[in-house]
Structure 1
Amino acid sequence: MRFLSVFCLLVLATSRVSSKPTQEKKGRVHHGKDLSDHQHDDSKDFQYDHEAFLGKEEAKTFDQLTPEESKERLGLIVNKIDADNDSLVTAPELLSWIKHVHGRWVHEDVAKQMQLYDKDRDGHVSWKEYSDQLYSHLIGEEFNDLPDKDTYRNMMKRDERRFKQADKDGDMIATRDEFTAFLHPEEFDYMKDMVITETLEDIDKNGDGFVDVNEYIGDMYSTENDEPEPDWVKTERQQFLDFRDLNKDGKMDRSEISHWIMPPDYDHADVEAKHLIYESDKDKDDKLTKEEILDNWNMFVGSQATNYGEDLTRRHDEF
């Protein structure tokens, strides 16, 4: 099976500054629409909830705090979420906060990338600025013996195609908004077709323009030594038959892929807000007091990454 450890995720997150192509840096774009890269399974850990509630970078900061510090900071956050100051957090208030956190993460990520690629500091990123820095040392004539050269050429072509789609006026110079659409196409309606195209290209291994059930499963799980499929894989196969392949022809076309990765009338932030309230609302009035939130602080900000505070007794250089 293919798993990414916390360490690997940190390496991937920092690899942006080491001039790796977009596909290696970001992973498939359709995952970016979600609120976290972690699986949403509270029976294992609350990492999804932490990143949805705090943002990815802030979640890392909370990982280093003691339980007492986490609760204190959580209390301050609750004060911000309670927009009408009635000492109760409602689903709309929580939804607004989660969307704010996600928007802040996108804004901060774009700011970092602008700083990295806007070499002339004119507030824009041209395709030349981006491609020269990211690909010139990988596909230049002096690197003809590079074993993955063709792969990098293909990645550059894919990036250029996405850049052109994001670049509304066609001058190959991205404004901040256009560069945001390039880096986070899942956030923009006019980039929807590009998200579908890239998803299809990544999963459609036989190149027939569709995704069959084996390709669908192969994107998330690969067997080793002919081991039997775990139950969750069997469940996913049934999910494909019941909910992915809408016209029951044994494969997903572009429309069905769109319905899968960008389902209509489904908002990750809204679902997460209602989930947090449901799991913390002791008196079942569909609202949360600060006490109810602090009583369930593990779900909001606690972290198994630090063994709920026990590992914090170690020095930082021991990790």
Structure 2
Amino acid sequence: MTRALIVFWLVLFSAVFSINFNLVGAAVMHSHTSINKEHIQDSFYSPKDKNHYSEDGEHDIEFDHEAILGSVKEAETFDHLPLEESKKRLKILLEKIDLNGDKIINKQELKVWILRSFKMLSEEEANERLEDVDENNDGKVTWEEYITDTYGKDDELPVEQEDKQLLEDDKRVWEVADFDKNNFLENEEWLAFLHPEEHPAMIPHILEQTLSNKDKNGDGSIDFQEFIGTQGQERSKEWLLSEKDKFDLEYDKNADGKLSGNEIISWIVPNNDEIAEEEVIHLFAASDDNHDDLLTFEEILNHHDIFVGSEATDYGEHLHNIHNFKDEL
């Protein structure tokens, strides 16, 4: 065997071994899917439109599609429909959005529909998560099932202080979301646990938890230093000035130099109503051709790709997997 051939086989063996090792590692490692990962870096819950625009200003049209369809799965389905089929299904959808039946979509009708879609997206996510966590398929989740899926078995539970804190936070949210105190979560309880920021009964707990984690001097409020936390030590002067403007102009409504009560909630909890309004403005700007603040069915169908997306590819392959959209609506 030549030297070159020996080297070739050694490289190939190493690559295969590395791939197999990585696969085994991936199989045994648990990705942390705690609800606390819904928080972004400065501790507030991620808004529905967190991926609508990147930091570079790039627009992700998938958010628009999901905001209209209320389902990630349906959005993916529409991406593979041919043009005429996509328009046909969109027209069926428009008849549902058009509450007064005048064949015109006004801003309020569109906003109501988008808010409905946000709720459906959360429910879809919760149902998918339930399939992963519910080991015995009884439609309920016990705390043991949740921590096993999220953190691993007893001997794999977090040892780092940060992860221990996340586990403790999860447990407190779990206990609050267990409305009937029967030691498992189902239906609305499970949704409230995964998305406490969207459930009114969970808001007082979010406030309590925020103060517990951020109120370092124990005065029942959040000053600017507590607001920025440890990030302030790593960020630029420009960032600090920008955050100070947010603190003073957006959140500190009574200008007393600290956040308390509803001011903390407005900081921590995304306002889906405002997000829906912004999405309505965005969709109208992209499709209201005559600028009359009304969308005719024709205008929307002419801009169908903004609302639902369509690719004239793999039609035959995907058609047999598509549900009867009209019946579902």
Cα gap change, 1:124/1:209 in structure 2, threshold over 3 Å: closer, same or farther? same
Which residue does 2:222 correspond to in 1? 211
Q: Does 1:260 align with 2:267?
A: yes
Once the two structures are aligned, what percentage of the paired residues are identical? 30
Matching residue's letter, 1:46: H
Aligned residues between the structures = 277
Matching residue's letter, 2:76: T
Cα gap change, 1:269/1:45 in structure 2, threshold over 3 Å: closer, same or farther? same
TM-score (norm 2): 0.66
Which residue does 1:238 correspond to in 2? 245
CA shift for structure 1 position 80 = 0.8
Which residue does 1:117 correspond to in 2? 133
Larger Rg: 2
Which residue does 1:45 correspond to in 2? 58
Which residue does 2:316 correspond to in 1? none
TM-score (norm 1): 0.68
1:175-190 aligned at under 5 Å gives the runs 175-190=186-201
RMSD: 4.1
CA contact (8 A) 1:36 1:52 kept: no
Q: Secondary structure at the match of 2:292?
A: coil
- Note the alpha carbon deviations across 1:188-246, whole angstroms, 9 max, x for none: 11101122334445655777654333554568x7786x75526xx74443232123112
Matching residue's letter, 1:36: D
Cα gap change, 1:36/1:182 in structure 2, threshold over 3 Å: closer, same or farther? same
Equivalent of 2:143 in 124, 127, 132: 127
Equivalent of 2:109 in 76, 87, 93: 93
Q: Secondary structure at the match of 2:105?
A: coil
**How far, CA to CA, are the matches of 2:225 and 2:108 in structure 1?**
40
Matching residue's letter, 1:159: D
1:3-152 aligned at under 5 Å gives the runs 18-23=30-35, 25-27=37-39, 30-32=44-46, 34-38=47-51, 44-47=57-60, 48-55=63-70, 57-58=72-73, 61=76, 69=82, 73=86, 76-83=89-96, 84=98, 86-137=102-153, 140=154, 142=155, 148=160, 150-152=161-163
Which residue does 1:280 correspond to in 2? 287
Matching residue's letter, 1:26: E
**How far, CA to CA, are the matches of 2:175 and 2:242 in structure 1?**
39
**How far, CA to CA, are the matches of 2:87 and 2:215 in structure 1?**
44
**How far, CA to CA, are the matches of 2:273 and 2:302 in structure 1?**
29
- Note the alpha carbon deviations across 1:105-156, whole angstroms, 9 max, x for none: 222211122222222222211222222443353xx3x459x752x3333222
CA shift for structure 1 position 257 = 0.8
Q: Does 1:229 align with 2:257?
A: no
Q: Secondary structure at the match of 2:138?
A: coil
CA contact (8 A) 2:44 2:267 kept: no
**How far, CA to CA, are the matches of 2:303 and 2:114 in structure 1?**
17
